[in-house]
Amino acid sequence: MKLPPKVFRVKVFRVPGRPPARCARPTRAAVAAAVAIPTALSVTPAASAASAAAGVRGPTTASSAAAGTASALAAQRDWLRLGDDDLPESRTTRALAAGVTHTVITRGEGTATASRINVTSRGPWRINVVTIDPRRSRHTLETAFGNTLMAPEATSRIAAWAGAKVAMNGSFFNYQGPTTFRGDPVGLTVTAGTVMSEQTGSTAEQNVFIDADRGRLRMGRFTWKGYVRNTATDKGRTLAGVNRVPRVPAPCASGDADACAAATGELVRFSPRFAATTPSGPGAEAVYGPDGCLVRVSPTRGTKLSSAQFSVQGTGARAAQLLREADDGCVRLDEYVLDGNGDRMRLRSDTFGLSGRYRLVRGGDIVRNTGSATLFGRHPRSIIGRTADGTIQLVTIDGRSVSSVGATLVEAAQVARGLGLVDAVNLDGGGSTTLTIDGAVVNRVSGASERPVGDALVLVR
C-alpha cells in the first residue's frame, strides 16, 4: 500500500518579526523517510511566561519557558513581511521527490471585504512554494509550450504533455492578440538551446535562463542577435526577429511594387513549431532544409514547414534581397545571446529561457518597483528565484479573491526575499498564475478556469 507523504505542519500566531534565515535542509535519508512514513510535526500556540516577559507572543513547548522562547523566536524569523506584523501565519510542507518540496503558506485570518481587496493590510494571503535543490533532485527544470508556439495551452495540459512532476506558468505572452498568434511570447525565450522569440527592448523585461542539467539560474536583461549567412561567401544579412510577423512597409501593404522594393523591411526566422503555417502576406519566403540548403523560395509569405526545416521571411527591400540571393548557395544561422555586460552566453541543448517583467530581488536586495500601471497593483503572482546556495523556488501567490488578496510588485518582492531568495523575477501573473503538481492544479486560479498560457516551467525527469 502506498503511504502518504510525511507532512510537517508549523502553526504560529501573532508574532511580529523579521524575515527568516533559512532552515537547514533535511538529508536525503530524512526525505526518503518523510515520503514513506505518515506523521506530523506541529507547533501549537501556548502562552509562555518567559516569552511574555520578553515581549514575544507565539508558540512555545511544554518543556520549559526557555525552550518556549527559543521556539517563538525561531518561528518569528520564519515569518513573511506581508501585511501587518501581528497577522497569524501557518505553513505546511510535504516532500514531492528527492530534493523537491511543496510548502503552502497562509497568512492573515478570515476573509477580506471584497471592496478592500486592493488596500487591506490584513490579508489573507495563500502562497504556494515549490523548492528544488539541484544538488539532490533527480529532476530538471525546463520550459515547454503547447503543440505549437502560437497556440496557448493550459499549464496542466503542458504539464501532462511534458510528463512534469511540477509545472508553473511562465513568460508573458500576447494573450489578447489575434487568435492565430495568441501564444506569442513577449520577450526573449529559449527552448533546448534554440531562441524562440527575441527581446522586446523594454526596460521592464527581465530574462531568466536555466542551465537545466546543472540546475542553475541566470537573470538579467539579455539581448539576442541573429544573422543568416551564405556559407560560400560568408555574406550575412541581419535578422530582425524570430517567430513573429515581420513588419510590412506601408507601400507593400498598398500594392505599390516599386515603392515596396525600396522600402526598409525586415528578415524574420521561423522554426517548424511556430504554427501550422508561417504568417501569410506581402513579401518573400525561403525555406531551408536541415543542412541549410534551399528547399524552395516564394515571392509571397506563408508556407508549411516540416519538422526538419526552417524559413526566413522578408518584407520590403529585404524581400527583394531574399529573392535575389536565395539561389546563391546554402546558408547558416549565426545567432547568439549577450548578457548585460555584452558577453556571449553559451546556448546548449540544456539551455532554456523565459521572459518576465521586473526584477523583484537582485543580489539579496529588494527592488522596489512602483508605478500607477495596472501591473504594479495587487494581482495573483508567479515568481521564480534562487537562494544564495543555488536552491530554486517556484512561487505562486493567489489573488483577486476574499480568500487571498494577491500582491503588488513590492509585496511580491517582500515575499520573495522573506522566502530567502537573493535573486527573483516576476513572471506572468493574474489569470495566468497556475501551479500544478502531479497534474493537479494546487493553487486557486483567479478566473473561472485555467487560462491557456504561452509557455510553462516544467520539472521533469
pLDDT for 37 beyond 80:
no
Distance in angstroms (rounded) separating the CA atoms of residues 39 and 34: 8
Average pLDDT over residues 450-454: 97
Question: Can you give the pLDDT at residue 36?
Answer: 28
pLDDT for 74 beyond 70:
no
pLDDT, tens digit, 9 for 90 and up, residues 200-254: 999 999 999 999 999 999 999 999 999 999 998 899 999 999 999 999 999 998 8
Question: Can you give the pLDDT at residue 326?
Answer: 86
Distance in angstroms (rounded) separating the CA atoms of residues 345 and 280: 33
| Average pLDDT across the chain, whole number | 86
Q: Is the peptide bond before 124 cis (omega within 30 degrees of 0)?
A: yes
Q: CA–CA distance from 47 to each of 72, 86, 333 (Å)?
A: 10, 16, 69
- Using DSSP bridges, classify how beta strands 440-441 and 194-197 pair: parallel, antiparallel or unpaired: unpaired
Band the pLDDT of 50: cuts 50, 70, 90. Answer: very low
Average pLDDT over residues 31-45: 29
pLDDT, tens digit, 9 for 90 and up, residues 111-165: 999 999 999 999 999 999 999 999 999 999 999 999 999 999 999 999 999 999 9
Q: CB count, 10 Å around CB of 56?
A: 19
Band the pLDDT of 77: cuts 50, 70, 90. Answer: low
Band the pLDDT of 94: cuts 50, 70, 90. Answer: very high
Distance in angstroms (rounded) separating the CA atoms of residues 283 and 303: 12
- Using DSSP bridges, classify how beta strands 365-366 and 359-362 pair: parallel, antiparallel or unpaired: antiparallel
Average pLDDT over residues 184-203: 97
Higher pLDDT, 312 or 49: 312
pLDDT for 173 beyond 90:
yes
Ranking 68-72, 238-242, 280-284, 423-427 by mean pLDDT, the lowest is 68-72
Domain boundaries, the chain: 7-139+364-438, 226-335
Q: Which of 156, 154, 104 is nearest to 127 (CA)?
A: 104
Phi, psi angles (nearest 5°) of residue 246: -70, 150
Q: Which of 238, 255, 198 is nearest to 221 (CA)?
A: 198
375 in Cβ contact with 186 (< 8 Å): no
pLDDT for 307 beyond 70:
yes
Distance in angstroms (rounded) separating the CA atoms of residues 382 and 60: 34
Return the SS3 of 311: strand
Distance in angstroms (rounded) separating the CA atoms of residues 36 and 138: 18
- Using DSSP bridges, classify how beta strands 216-220 and 435-437 pair: parallel, antiparallel or unpaired: unpaired
Question: Can you give the pLDDT at residue 328?
Answer: 81
Phi, psi angles (nearest 5°) of residue 379: -150, 165
Question: Can you give the pLDDT at residue 33?
Answer: 33
Average pLDDT over residues 19-25: 38
Contacts of 292 (CB under 8 A, 6+ apart): 231, 330, 331, 332, 333
- Using DSSP bridges, classify how beta strands 281-288 and 294-301 pair: parallel, antiparallel or unpaired: antiparallel
Residue type, 382: S
Question: Can you give the pLDDT at residue 52?
Answer: 33
Ranking 46-55, 204-213, 275-284 by mean pLDDT, the lowest is 46-55
Distance in angstroms (rounded) separating the CA atoms of residues 184 and 171: 10
Question: Can you give the pLDDT at residue 56?
Answer: 33
Residue type, 74: A
Question: Can you give the pLDDT at residue 243?
Answer: 98
Average pLDDT over residues 393-415: 98
Residue type, 391: T
pLDDT for 303 beyond 70:
yes
Q: What percent of the chain has pLDDT over 70?
A: 83
Q: Which of 414, 362, 99 is nearest to 221 (CA)?
A: 362
pLDDT for 53 beyond 70:
no
pTM of the model: 0.83
DSSP, res 156: H
